């Protein structure tokens, strides 16, 4: 049997990491597996001894696990939501970005979704959620929305992947059985394309409200209590904005890394970074607007318990984190991205990393200070995460990197067929669309 | 029936006898001093230190703080598995075998009254044998809280049933009220006119902790008057 791989493919750069993975891949998998195994051991220790191995205590009963839960789920909004919005708004420049973004969602969502379970005192009783669940509890809403989002976003990742898997199958890339199975008999007929388009359209319309619901509901975990600093009506949109913000930053970091590692300069051009970083800049401003509204209303209300939390963040124990968050999420990215001279790839990389760090700090600042300032006068210590919590955080990041490099080892991180489609049809479609925007020429006034 | 408690701060000396009695009665784990400093102290009945005024007119008071057994408990609303609930007699209870240890109720409680078993509970060897057989020992990883010594209610009800009579006020008293040397803690049915708490809860000195939150606590404090 002869395979087409003899012929040079126009998008050979995208196929190279799959056809010739190289040794670095195995080294990285090895290193990451060691980290993950050690994390597994640390978690096992927590299971054995109880949550006492963490730094959580009375009254700060939620710590790193809940912070990372909110953070990872926030990052997951990068993908499917952004990709759906770009596809829906027919932004032609989306083509090389959507796949990368969707992969982030699928992997990070799986990691983030595990965090509440890691946080449980009795993970062995997790099934109580199903047979004793109370639908009135925001935690149950979360279980429902995260499951829905995970299902929708993995399907949304997989469906546009089918034609690419078929390309790999036709080129006889190993393991053949994998591509044979996953391509579902894709032949690229007109009918198949029609069905694919239909499925993608349905999914991208569905996925947007689901994604918005996910982070709204995560904010509800906090907002539905009466605790100072949490009981806020803007928490829903505030969290959604923060999630999209951190998500775009995560996509940008990943795009820059992949461009460097896989030499994708031909696909990820400066214009893609420029557009996405302007989106990042806008999100930074919206984020600041929400943060400003949230704290200003708290300050003017001047409710004593609210003010204790407020000053704890602004001038108390959490002031270094709070002001670092303002710098990372607002001052630094805005300063870098406002100026075209600094809006270069290194500049964007710095701004994006700063936003990812800043958004993690934001989650820290939302979760801990409200718990650390109970209404009644209790002795309160400072929450210091232990080795266990740090390790589970690092382990989570390691699982993300491992998941991503395994995906990139077997599947193209840039959608080949969508790029091809873009090459052939985009120009025509866009011209037609622009013509349709234009005012019709006036009917020739022959009679006048 | 609506069980409630009145704590007369005029009579309370802040001795902490109620906290000690509660700990022994309910088999609440004893935490080493080093771990206690980390914030793993377990007290169902805690003593709150309240500072009033400023130096030189500073006044420090110790007041007992059990679970408020709110009529609108913020903790039961958020529990994902119905491990904490309010029963028909107004007691906010915790079902230990059902609790998954998510600690959402602890985060939601405005009075911060709940305790969590960060480790498997342990007792020093001397008192290991003196645990109260009427109260189950909690496993690691679950939330626990003041139950108004509900096991005493069960016992009192059975006795009353056996003797074919109604439950009397003195039949059911939680350990804190039982042990208070000055009689500052009074316990009973808030809806029963013959019970002392019904009378005391309408005192002009009566106030509730964080009353403005609308949680409707069933623990009522009688404030000090000088």
Q: For position A1, what pLDDT does the model report?
A: 43
Q: Which residues pair with B162 in a beta bridge?
A: none
Which chain A residues are closer than 8 Å to B65 by Cβ?
376
CB contact under 8 A, A378 and B98: no
Give the distance from residue B19's alpha carbon to the nearest chain A alpha carbon, in angstroms.
Answer: 15
pLDDT per position as a tens digit, B75-111 = 999 999 999 999 999 999 999 999 999 999 999 999 9
**Which residue matches tokens 């993908």?**
A79
Q: What is the mean pLDDT of residues A7-14?
A: 71
B211 φ, ψ (degrees, to nearest 5): -60, -30
- Cβ contact B225:B205 at 8 Å: yes
Q: What is the 3-state secondary structure (H, E, C) of chain A?
A: CCCHHHCCCCCHHHHHHHHCCCHHHHHHHHHHHHHHHHHHHHHHHHHHHCHHHCCCCCCCCCCHHHHHHHHHHHHHCCHHHHHHHHHHCCCHHHCCCHHHHHHHHHHHHHHHHHHHHHHCCCHHHCCHHHHCCCCCCHHHHHHHHHHHHHHHHHHHHHHHHHHHHHHHHHCCCCCHHHHHHHCCCCCCCHHHHHHHHHHHHHHHHHHHHHHHHHHHHHHHHHHCCCCCCCCCCCHHHHHHHHHHHHHHHHHHHHHHHHHHHCCCCCCCCHHHHHHHHHHHHHHHHHHHHHHHHHHHHHHHHCCHHHHHHHHHHHCCCCHHHHHHHHHHHHHHHHHHHHCCCCCCHHHHHHHHHHHHHHHHHHHHHHHHHHHHCCCCCCCCCCCCCCHHHHHHHHHHHHHHHHHHHHHHHHCCCCCHHHHHHHHHHHHHHHHHHHHHHCCCCCCCCCCC
- Cβ contact A234:A293 at 8 Å: yes
What six digits make up the tokens of A168? 């790999």
Kindly report the length of chain B.
226
Please report, in tens digits, the pLDDT of each residue of chain B (226 residues total): 899 999 999 999 999 999 999 999 999 988 888 888 888 888 999 999 988 888 888 888 889 999 999 999 999 999 999 999 999 999 999 999 999 999 999 999 999 999 999 988 888 888 777 888 899 999 999 999 999 999 999 999 999 999 999 888 888 999 999 999 999 999 999 998 999 999 999 999 999 999 999 999 999 999 988 7
Please name the residue of chain B whose CA is at the shortest distance from the CA of residue A383: B38
Give the distance from residue B111's alpha carbon to the nearest chain A alpha carbon, in angstroms.
Answer: 6
Residues near A349 by Cβ (< 8 Å), separated by ≥ 6?
A252, A253, A256
CB contact under 8 A, A58 and B120: no
- Cβ contact B182:B28 at 8 Å: no
Can you tell me the distance from the alpha carbon of A309 to that of A322, in angstroms, rounded to the nearest whole number?
Answer: 12
CB contact under 8 A, A121 and B41: no
Whether residue A175 is predicted with pLDDT greater than 80 in this model: the reply is yes
Please name the residue of chain A whose CA is at the shortest distance from the CA of residue B37: A381
Which chain B residues are closer than 8 Å to A136 by Cβ?
77
Q: For position A82, what pLDDT does the model report?
A: 82
Which chain B residues are closer than 8 Å to A116 by Cβ?
102
- The DSSP letter of residue B139 is P
Residues near A96 by Cβ (< 8 Å), separated by ≥ 6?
A264, A267, A268, A272, A414, A415, A419
CB contact under 8 A, B65 and A140: no
pLDDT per position as a tens digit, A357-376 = 999 999 999 999 999 999 88
Q: Cα–chain-centroid distance for residue B57?
A: 31
Q: Please, what is the Cα angle at A304 between A300 and A305, to 5 degrees? A: 110
Can you tell me the distance from the alpha carbon of B42 to that of B117, in angstroms, rounded to the nearest whole number?
Answer: 8
What six digits make up the tokens of A101? 């973004």
How far is residue A367 from each of residues A139, A229, A360, measured CA to CA in Å?
15, 9, 11
Which chain A residues are closer than 8 Å to B112 by Cβ?
58-59, 374-376, 378
Can you tell me the distance from the alpha carbon of B207 to that of B205, in angstroms, rounded to the nearest whole number?
Answer: 7
More confident residue, A328 or A264: A328
Nearest to A52 among B80, B119, B142 (CB): B119
Whether the ipTM is more than 0.85: the answer is yes
What six digits make up the tokens of A82? 């952004």
Most A CBs within 10 Å: which of B118, B144, B208, B212, as the mutation test of the A interface? B118
Q: For position A262, what pLDDT does the model report?
A: 82
Give the distance from residue A380's alpha carbon to the nearest chain B alpha carbon, in angstroms.
Answer: 8
Which chain B residues are closer than 8 Å to A120 by Cβ?
100-102, 141
Q: What is the mean pLDDT of residues A215-233?
A: 91
- Cβ contact A325:A362 at 8 Å: yes
Q: Please, what is the Cα angle at A190 between A186 and A191, to 5 degrees? A: 75
Can you tell me the distance from the alpha carbon of B187 to that of B183, in angstroms, rounded to the nearest whole number?
Answer: 10
Q: Taking chain B, what is the end-to-end CA distance rounded to the nearest angstrom?
A: 34
Which chain A residues are closer than 8 Å to B106 by Cβ?
58-59, 61
Dmax over Cα atoms in chain A, in whole Å?
Answer: 94
Most A CBs within 10 Å: which of B33, B38, B70, B81, as the mutation test of the A interface? B81
Percentage above 70 pLDDT, chain A: 97
Please name the residue of chain A whose CA is at the shortest distance from the CA of residue B65: A376
CB contact under 8 A, B141 and A51: yes
Chains A & B: contacts with CB separation below 8 Å: 140
* B78: enclosing H helix or E strand: helix B74-78
- Cβ contact A4:A257 at 8 Å: no
Which chain A residues are closer than 8 Å to B19 by Cβ?
none
Can you tell me the distance from the alpha carbon of B81 to that of B77, in angstroms, rounded to the nearest whole number?
Answer: 10
Which chain A residues are closer than 8 Å to B117 by Cβ?
50, 121
Q: For position A418, what pLDDT does the model report?
A: 82
Can you tell me the distance from the alpha carbon of B143 to that of B145, in angstroms, rounded to the nearest whole number?
Answer: 7
Dmax over Cα atoms in chain B, in whole Å?
Answer: 59
CB contact under 8 A, B80 and A49: no
Give the distance from residue B43's alpha carbon to the nearest chain A alpha carbon, in angstroms.
Answer: 11
Nearest to A224 among B78, B119, B139 (CB): B78
Q: What is the mean pLDDT of residues A266-289?
A: 90
Can you tell me the distance from the alpha carbon of B200 to that of A315, in angstroms, rounded to the nearest whole number?
Answer: 44
Which chain B residues are closer than 8 Å to A223 by Cβ?
none
**Which residue matches tokens 């509730």?**
B208
- The DSSP letter of residue B53 is S
Whether residue A7 is predicted with pLDDT greater than 70 in this model: the reply is no
CB contact under 8 A, B102 and A225: no
Residue A303 has, within 13 A of its CA and on its CB side, a CA count of 17
**Helix crossing, A304-314 with A270-301: angle to 10°?**
140
CB contact under 8 A, A225 and B116: no
Which chain B residues are closer than 8 Å to A51 by Cβ?
101, 116, 118, 141
Q: What is the mean pLDDT of residues A279-300?
A: 93
Whether residue A6 is predicted with pLDDT greater than 70 in this model: the reply is no
Please name the residue of chain A whose CA is at the shortest distance from the CA of residue B83: A132
CB contact under 8 A, A121 and B103: yes
How far is residue A217 from each of residues A146, A244, A370, B72, measured CA to CA in Å?
9, 15, 19, 23
Give the distance from residue A223's alpha carbon to the nearest chain B alpha carbon, in angstroms.
Answer: 10
User: What is the β-pairing status of strands B143-144 and B84-86?
Assistant: unpaired
User: What is the β-pairing status of strands B59-65 and B46-52?
Assistant: antiparallel
Q: For position A2, what pLDDT does the model report?
A: 46
CB contact under 8 A, A57 and B50: no
- Cβ contact A92:A102 at 8 Å: no
Which chain A residues are closer than 8 Å to B49 by Cβ?
377
Chain A residues at the B interface, defined by Cβ less than 8 Å, are 49-52, 56-62, 116, 119-123, 125-126, 128-129, 132-134, 136-140, 143, 221, 224-227, 371, 374-378, 380-381
Whether residue A78 is predicted with pLDDT greater than 80 in this model: the reply is no
**Which residue matches tokens 């679970």?**
B67
Which chain B residues are closer than 8 Å to A221 by Cβ?
104
pTM for the whole structure: 0.92
- Cβ contact B64:B19 at 8 Å: yes
Can you tell me the distance from the alpha carbon of A196 to that of A134, in angstroms, rounded to the nearest whole number?
Answer: 38
Q: For position A15, what pLDDT does the model report?
A: 77
Whether residue A8 is predicted with pLDDT greater than 80 in this model: the reply is no
**Which residue matches tokens 């198949």?**
A192
């Amino acid at each position: 049997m002869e395979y087409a791989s003899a012929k040079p493919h126009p998008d050979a750069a995208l196929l190279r990491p799959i056809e010739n993975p190289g040794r670095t891949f195995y080294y990285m998998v090895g290193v990451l597996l060691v980290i993950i195994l050690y994390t597994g051991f640390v978690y096992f220790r927590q299971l054995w001894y109880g949550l006492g191995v963490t730094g959580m205590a009375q009254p700060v009963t939620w710590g790193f696990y809940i912070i990372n839960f909110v953070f990872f789920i926030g990052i997951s909004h990068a993908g499917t939501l952004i990709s759906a919005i770009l596809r829906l708004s027919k932004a032609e420049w989306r083509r090389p970005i959507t796949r990368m973004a969707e992969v982030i969602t699928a992997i990070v969502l799986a990691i983030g979704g595990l965090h509440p379970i890691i946080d449980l005192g009795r993970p062995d009783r997790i099934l109580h959620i199903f047979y004793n669940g109370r639908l009135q509890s925001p935690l149950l809403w979360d279980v429902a929305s995260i499951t829905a989002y995970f299902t929708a976003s993995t399907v949304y990742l997989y469906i546009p992947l089918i034609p690419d898997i078929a390309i790999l199958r036709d080129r006889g890339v190993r393991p053949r059985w994998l591509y044979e199975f996953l391509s579902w008999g894709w032949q690229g007929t007109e009918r198949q394309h029609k069905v694919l388009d239909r499925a993608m359209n349905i999914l991208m319309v569905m996925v947007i409200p689901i994604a918005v619901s996910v982070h709204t509901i995560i904010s509800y975990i906090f907002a539905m209590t009466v605790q100072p600093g949490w009981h806020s009506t803007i928490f829903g949109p505030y969290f959604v904005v923060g999630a999209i913000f951190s998500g775009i930053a995560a996509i940008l970091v990943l795009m820059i890394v992949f461009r460097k590692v896989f030499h994708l300069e031909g696909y990820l051009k400066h214009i893609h970074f420029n557009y996405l970083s302007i989106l990042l800049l806008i999100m930074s401003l919206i984020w600041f607007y929400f943060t400003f509204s949230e704290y200003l209303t708290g300050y003017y209300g001047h409710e004593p318990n609210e003010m204790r939390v407020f000053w704890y963040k602004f001038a108390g124990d959490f002031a270094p984190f709070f002001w670092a968050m303002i710098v990372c999420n607002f001052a630094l990215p805005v300063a870098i991205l406002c100026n075209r001279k600094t809006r270069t790839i290194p500049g964007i990389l710095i701004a994006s990393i700063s936003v990812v760090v800043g958004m993690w700090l934001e989650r820290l600042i939302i979760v801990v200070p409200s718990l650390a300032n109970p209404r009644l006068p209790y002795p309160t210590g400072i929450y210091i995460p232990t080795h266990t919590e740090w390790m589970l955080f690092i382990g989570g990041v390691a699982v993300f990197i491992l998941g991503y490099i395994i995906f990139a080892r077997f599947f193209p991180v840039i959608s080949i067929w969508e790029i091809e489609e873009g090459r052939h049809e985009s120009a025509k479609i866009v011209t037609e669309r622009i013509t349709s925007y234009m005012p019709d020429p006036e009917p020739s006034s022959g009679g006048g | 029936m609506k069980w409630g408690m009145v704590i007369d701060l005029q009579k309370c000396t802040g001795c902490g006898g109620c906290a000690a009695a509660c700990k022994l009665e309910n088999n609440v784990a004893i935490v080493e001093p080093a771990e206690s400093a980390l914030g793993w102290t377990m007290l169902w009945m805690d003593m709150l230190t309240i500072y009033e005024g400023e130096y030189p007119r500073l006044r420090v008071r110790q007041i007992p703080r059990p679970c408020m057994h709110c009529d609108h408990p913020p903790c039961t609303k958020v529990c994902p598995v119905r491990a904490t609930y309010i029963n028909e007699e107004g007691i906010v209870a915790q079902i230990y075998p059902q609790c998954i240890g998510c600690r959402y109720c602890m985060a939601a409680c405005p009075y911060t009254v709940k305790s969590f078993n960060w480790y498997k509970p342990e007792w020093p060897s001397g008192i290991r044998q003196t645990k109260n057989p009427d109260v189950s020992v909690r496993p690691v990883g679950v939330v626990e809280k003041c139950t108004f010594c509900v096991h005493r209610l069960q016992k009192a009800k059975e006795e009353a049933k056996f003797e074919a009579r109604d439950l009397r006020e003195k039949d059911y008293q939680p350990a804190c009220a039982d042990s208070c040397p000055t009689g500052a803690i009074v316990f009973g049915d808030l809806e029963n006119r013959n019970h002392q708490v019904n009378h005391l809860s309408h005192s002009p000195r009566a106030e509730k902790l964080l009353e403005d939150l609308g949680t409707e606590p069933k623990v009522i404090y009688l404030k000090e008057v000088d």
